[in-house]
Amino acid sequence: MITRKSRYEINLMKSAGSIVAEVHNTLKELIMPGVSTYELDEIAEKIILKNKAIPAFKGYHGYPATICASINEKVVHGIPSKETFLEEGDIISIDVGAVYKGMVGDSALTHPVGHITGELKQLLEVTNRALFDAIEKMVAGNRLYETVSAAIEDRANLHGYGIVKQYGGHGVGKAMHEDPFLYNFRTGDPGPELKTGMVIAIEPMFNLGTGAVHVLEDNWTVVTDDGRPSAHFEHTVHVSNDGPEILTL
């Protein structure tokens, strides 16, 4: 069942979303060679707690940290570690969720570490662009898969990027993962009709190589099969009366 949020709930989700945005803005300045992903995680948790919110990921199916920190060929769900240090030329996806007064905000973005190649720069720009193409389609009356999913697929295809198919976006609200699941490609099914009050976390994951991925021994980290880099961008988006409204700014 796809829930529709009240104005009150949307306002709480905006608060959760602005806390998540504060984490992203702070971490962005700290991303540089030599920093460990564990340090980034500690700072993220402090910011969330200071804002009277709760990290949404910690403890979720046993996930051990506040952020997911996924470097290069790691797609999503990379676990922060004292032994993992950022290096010049890396790209790192930071994914953060916060619960404020019972409502979740969820967003991710991929940063360059120092100078990166033109090929990687383009991968980041295009994946982010796909997210915004998709956000534009978050309009009441649209069918989710034939508009939002299709926009993501089209952007990847323009550049020949691999689309990760086993993971995708999701409804979000009281729970981090609610209906509907959002494919990052066309399925043939037009998908559910968008209605005002629906909120969906949109999260394209594009690979320089093929879309094939697998999960590491830690049972969390998703990596590309071919070892080539992957980018990930995410916002929590509300279908409002006035069109798409990003709650994680």
Restricting to residues 202-221, name those near ligand MF3 by CB under 6 A. Answer: none
Would you count residue 103 as binding ligand MF3 (CB under 6 A)?
no
Work out whether strand 213-215 and strand 222-224 pair parallel, antiparallel, or are unpaired.
antiparallel
Q: Given the rule CB under 5 A, which of 24-32, 186-194, 199-207, 209-217 is the region that contacts Co ion?
A: 199-207
Q: How far is CA 178 from CA 2, 16, 35, 222, in A?
A: 7, 17, 34, 21
Would you count residue 178 as binding Co ion (CB under 5 A)?
no
Would you count residue 155 as binding ligand MF3 (CB under 6 A)?
no
Q: Rounded CA gap, 213 and 49, in Å?
A: 33
Would you count residue 245 as binding ligand MF3 (CB under 6 A)?
no
Out of 4, 60, 215, 249, point to the residue binding ligand MF3 (CB under 6 A).
60
How large is the C-alpha radius of gyration of the chain?
17
Q: Rounded CA gap, 124 and 231, in Å?
A: 6
Which is nearer to Co ion, 20 or 91 (by Cβ)? 20
Would you count residue 201 as binding Co ion (CB under 5 A)?
yes
Would you count residue 131 as binding ligand MF3 (CB under 6 A)?
no
Out of 10, 69, 98, 201, point to the residue binding ligand MF3 (CB under 6 A).
201
Work out whether strand 67-71 and strand 91-100 pair parallel, antiparallel, or are unpaired.
antiparallel
Least spacing, CB of residue 95 vs Co ion, in Å: 7
Residues with Cβ within 8 Å of 54's Cβ and at least 6 positions away in sequence, in order, are 48, 98, 99
Would you count residue 92 as binding ligand MF3 (CB under 6 A)?
no
Which is nearer to ligand MF3, 68 or 150 (by Cβ)? 68
Sites of contact with ligand MF3 (CB under 6 A)? 57, 60, 63, 68, 77, 95, 97, 106, 108, 170, 201, 234
